[in-house]
Structure 1
Amino acid sequence: MPHPDPDNPFPLPGFAQVCFLKNLITRPNIEVGAFTYYDDPDGVQNFENNVLYHFPFIGDRLRIGKFCAIARGVKFIMNGASHQMDGISTYPFFIFGNGWEDARPAEGELPYKGDTVIGNDVWIGFDALIMPGVTIGDGAIIAARSVVTGDVPAYAIVGGNPARVVRARFDAVHAGRLVTLAWWDRPLAWITRHLDLIRGGDVDALERAARN
């Protein structure tokens, strides 16, 4: 059964502002799933420039699932942006050396919030900002220009600064069933055959199709 090629960086012929993002990633500490796309009329090559303060020696990863939609201007702040906050000054004296290198924070003194994890089938709107260590659940929607400072439940819509839940797309029970069903992990032929159910709102029908 035919389907778009996830290994084609530019799936829309003659339209280079949309890309299947995994094909353009060069950093080993960024992972992107199949069919996740990025839309940027200024150049999709800008994506990695929007993953900020992502220094290899810190070790944190940006992990993005499958079938996500990421709009122009979305930025990810990583743990390298953190400054020590338990002293009088937050200034990073040590990075300038020349006698100040001994002021380097000891291991564990700089805040570290871990990996940033974006689930599957997540829509992140224009100019949203994702802060370090955030986990965004499967099926969530991040409104344009939101500042996401904390974890987002699966199938929630969040917006604002700081982002708050506006409403749930499905109640907790149905959201949990959809996460368990994980349609995005099924064979592409199955996904293609059941696009109407995936686009629809009938969780029971999609579960029946998965069982069959």
Structure 2
Amino acid sequence: MKQHRFNHWSETKYLKDIVTNPMIEVGEYSYYSGYYGHHDFEDGCVRYLWGDEKSRRLFNPIEDYGWVLDKLIIGNYVCIASGVIILMGGNHNHHPEWITVYPFAEQIETSYEPKGDTIIESDAWIGMNAMIMPGVNIGEGAIVAAGSVVVKDVPPYTIVGGNPAKEIKKRFTDKEIEKLKEMRWFDWEREKIERAIPIFSSSSIDQLYDYYLREIKPYEHLENG
């Protein structure tokens, strides 16, 4: 685990290089900047998710109890800042509608209820010390402000903040967002993304859309066929 630690705040690690838990799916170029969190991605940022090496040695709720476990699914080019907490299965045995929320060991097998996969779609940015609750879907291009607690789905290209997190504003107009959702630039070949980096580092969605119509769309059927 030592190789997962950070040496400086400027250091980031691609999740593809550090994730080993089969319950976590990670896209390309998504990274974790965890220096100030002082813990690893799979054992600190992601919490209460069975499937890491140690938990697999201790127990297997899939085989032992027949549980259907939630997954953490992260898209391409996602930015996760230091101190972020992604809560997974640890609170699935607490029932507010029961007389007690205490998870008696005798009831563990039958009390578990899946929350659904937690999904962070491509090009999302999760700010420092934000907390994401189980089963939340954070849309592509969304921004979660530092210190926020996300308890419900976040629409694409939307900035949310607070506890509970609420919409602050859309990043772009509805028309521009529709173009971005059509282009899905984060799924392009890396070489074509690199050629368009000057456009990405601007706010000209129309210019990117022209590039898409010229360089990407005419060849999509070849890549998908």
Do the structures match in fold with TM over 0.5?
Answer: yes
What SS class does the counterpart of residue 48 from structure 1 fall into? coil
- Match status 1:87 vs 2:98: yes
Q: Describe the shift of the 1:29–1:44 C-alpha distance in structure 2 as closer, same or farther (beyond 3 A).
A: farther
2:48 partner amino acid: Y
Instruction: Quote the offset at 1:86 in angstroms.
Output: 2.0
Q: Which among 75, 78, 81 is matched to residue 65 of structure 1?
A: 75
Q: What is the match of residue 130 of structure 2? A: 128
Q: Describe the shift of the 1:44–1:186 C-alpha distance in structure 2 as closer, same or farther (beyond 3 A).
A: farther
Q: What is the match of residue 218 of structure 2? A: none
CA contact (8 A) 1:138 1:154 kept: yes
Q: What is the match of residue 28 of structure 1? A: 22
Q: Which among 160, 169, 172 is matched to residue 167 of structure 1?
A: 169
Q: Describe the shift of the 1:23–1:65 C-alpha distance in structure 2 as closer, same or farther (beyond 3 A).
A: same
Can you give the 5+ residue segments of structure 1 that lack an aligned partner in the other structure?
A: 1-8, 95-100
Q: What is the match of residue 201 of structure 2? A: 199
2:100 partner amino acid: S
Aligned equivalents of 1:45 and 1:33: distance in 2?
A: 21
Q: Describe the shift of the 1:55–1:85 C-alpha distance in structure 2 as closer, same or farther (beyond 3 A).
A: farther
1:123 partner amino acid: W
Q: Describe the shift of the 1:75–1:39 C-alpha distance in structure 2 as closer, same or farther (beyond 3 A).
A: same
Instruction: Quote the offset at 1:75 in angstroms.
Output: 0.7
Aligned equivalents of 1:178 and 1:192: distance in 2?
A: 17
User: How do 1:174-185 residues align onto structure 2 when only pairs under 5 Å count?
Assistant: 174-185=176-187
- Match status 1:47 vs 2:34: no
Can you give the 5+ residue segments of structure 2 that lack an aligned partner in the other structure?
A: 52-60, 62-66, 215-225
2:197 partner amino acid: L
Aligned equivalents of 2:151 and 2:134: distance in 1?
A: 8
CA contact (8 A) 2:9 2:36 kept: no
- Output the aligned Cα RMSD: 2.2
What SS class does the counterpart of residue 46 from structure 1 fall into? coil
Aligned equivalents of 1:16 and 1:122: distance in 2?
A: 19
Give the share of equivalent positions with the same residue, in percent.
Answer: 40
Q: Describe the shift of the 1:104–1:47 C-alpha distance in structure 2 as closer, same or farther (beyond 3 A).
A: closer
Aligned equivalents of 2:116 and 2:136: distance in 1?
A: 8
